[in-house]
Structures are given as structure tokens and as C-alpha cells.
Amino acid sequence: MKAIVKISNLSKTYNTGDQALKNIDLEIYEGEILALLGPNGAGKTTLISTICGIVSASSGSVTVAGHDIVSGYRITRDLIGLVPQELTLGAFDTVWNTVSFSRGLFGKKPNPAYIEQLLKDLSLYDKKNNALMTLSGGMKRRVLIAKALSHEPRILFLDEPTAGVDVELRRDMWRLVRGLQESGVTIILTTHYIEEAEEIADRVGIISNGELVLVGDKKTLMHELGKKQLILDLKHPIVDIPESLAKYALEISDDGNQLTYTYDTHSTRTGITALLQSLNEAGLSMKDLKTRQTSLEEIFVNLVRSQA
């Protein structure tokens, strides 16, 4: 895949001495949805802000569509739309005016037909003449998205887009994001909600303490790092695991009705066949069995914990 954003050895140290980014190397591919995961203060917003031109890098470089973000800022910024984390909007301006203002800032001629369609897509059209201060939090979030899309960007950054929004807006937002991706827009989002990344992203990057701990295809990541578990529901509860089953390192539930076997999906032998045979020999009968894949959240928690 072709990289549209290339980040090389990017570091940022604030005047306070806090090092927010440490030698980040990352390529963002054209047309993908990349989710950046990380705890509060990990450096996600600093990374996005640096690419967009709001924060100056201490060292390293970023190119967008082959242009440096400092020397070629007019070209790179024209390609980028940003939805900030905070609801940073004026009070007295109307929805229509603020979205039109954003389009103009990016050097685009007025296009009322485009703005009208955009507001309709975001269910904002009936509020177009409303003052921003009269809108609810969810509506303000929609306005910020409309502003970011007003100049028809090819890359969209969404910084914590679903923080504090209701289910309906979240659903609308993901529908919009998928629609944008289908039209060729590259999307980079940061989120705390791992299930969101799991659901919507093509690739996932994990940031912790200013470092990009890991980045990879979501499925590959889960496949490579994920452990699989076989859960066995017993017909009759047991108190202790029989000695003959010790080599399988089984975990027993508190009520003695369930055994859990964890195995590596990559090993040539998972040991499941042997385990089932050993269970039979030990005289244990099962009424059900199921498997479970480690979630992205567990991978994330484990990685962040190991970094701390």
C-alpha cells in the first residue's frame, strides 16, 4: 500500500521538559483507517497536533503526500482535516457561517451546495441558522466534524471523536467514517474505546509514554499476540485437577464446573486432541466446549503494563 503520511524519528519535548513523543516512526497508508490507542497523556494528541501544524516538532520529520509539513505546509494542510478532542467552538456564530468560515480558511471558494449536503449528512441542516451556543454537546461534535470536512480533505484526523457522545451519534459517526473511507479518505482516529478500534480500524497503533509500542494490521495483531482459550464445561464439578492433567496447566473455576486451557495458535501442536483424550482417560465428561480469542483490550493492557 502507498504511504500518504510518513513520520520519521519524530520527537517532541515541551518547554516544561515533558517528552511527549519519543522517536516515532510511522507510515499511514492511503485509504486506511488507523486507530491510535493509548492511555491519557500517552502522546496521541501531540502526534496528531504535530502533523496538523499546531505543535512544532523538536526533531524528526513528517511528510504528507510527499511534502514536508514545514516547508510545504500549504499543500499538506490543504489535504488534512482535523476534528479536535475539545468542543472548541464560538458562541454566537451560526452553524452555516462557522462551517463556511472553515472552508474559506483552507482557501476553498464558497460552495453552498457542498456545505448543504455536508450538513444534511451530519443531520445538522435543520440547525444551520442556530447559534452554536444553543447546540447540545453531540450537535457541537457534529459541527466540528462538518468544519473538518468543509474543505474536502483527503486525510481526516479524529481526536477522541466518541468521547462523551451518545450511541446514536457514535453509530452515525462510524457510518460517516466508513463512507469517507469508501470515497478514498484516509482516517486516523484516537480512542480509549478498544472495541471501537477493533470494530472499525484496519490497523491499530499503540502509544504509551510517547512511544509507538506497536503498530500493525488489526487482525494480524490479534492473531500474533492473541492467545486462544478452550473452555470446557464439565458435566460434574470437580474439586481438584487430576494429576494426569497437570501438564496442560488448566485453570479451574471457583465452582469446579469449568476448566480453561490456554494455547498458542502459532504452535504446530495446540495440544487440544491430547487434552481431550486425557480428559476422557481421567473420567471427566463434558457437556459443552467453546473457544475464545484474546481481545485487543487485553493485548493493549498487557503492552501498556509492560511499558510502565
Measured in degrees and rounded to the nearest 5, phi and psi for residue 203 equal: -130, 155
108 binds other proteins (CB under 8 A): yes
Q: Look-up: residue for cell 483424550?
A: 277
244 and 278 Cβ atoms separated by less than 8 Å: yes
By CB under 8 A, name the one of 9, 70, 71, 101 that touches other proteins.
101
Q: How far apart (Å, rounded) are the C-alpha atoms in residues 19 and 207?
A: 13
55 binds other proteins (CB under 8 A): yes
For residues 93 and 217, which CB has a smaller minimum distance to other proteins in the complex?
A: 93
Q: Name the packing angle between helices 112-121 and 137-149 (round to 10°).
A: 140
Shortest approach of other proteins to residue 33 CB, angstroms? 21
For residues 106 and 174, which CB has a smaller minimum distance to other proteins in the complex?
A: 106
41 binds other proteins (CB under 8 A): no
For residues 3 and 75, which CB has a smaller minimum distance to other proteins in the complex?
A: 75
135 and 144 Cβ atoms separated by less than 8 Å: no
Shortest approach of other proteins to residue 61 CB, angstroms? 17
Rule CB under 8 A: which of 220-279 touch other proteins?
Answer: none
For residues 86 and 199, which CB has a smaller minimum distance to other proteins in the complex?
A: 86
For residues 155 and 221, which CB has a smaller minimum distance to other proteins in the complex?
A: 155
For residues 144 and 222, which CB has a smaller minimum distance to other proteins in the complex?
A: 144
88 and 95 Cβ atoms separated by less than 8 Å: no
> What contacts 260, CB < 8 A, 6 or more positions away?
229, 230, 231, 232, 250, 251, 252, 253
Instruction: Write the CA distances from 250 to 15, 101, 263, 279, integer angstroms.
Output: 52, 62, 10, 11
By CB under 8 A, name the one of 31, 39, 53, 271 that touches other proteins.
53
Q: Which parts of this chain interact with other proteins (CB under 8 A)?
A: 14-15, 49, 52-56, 73-75, 77-78, 80, 82, 84, 86, 88-90, 92-93, 97, 100-109, 147
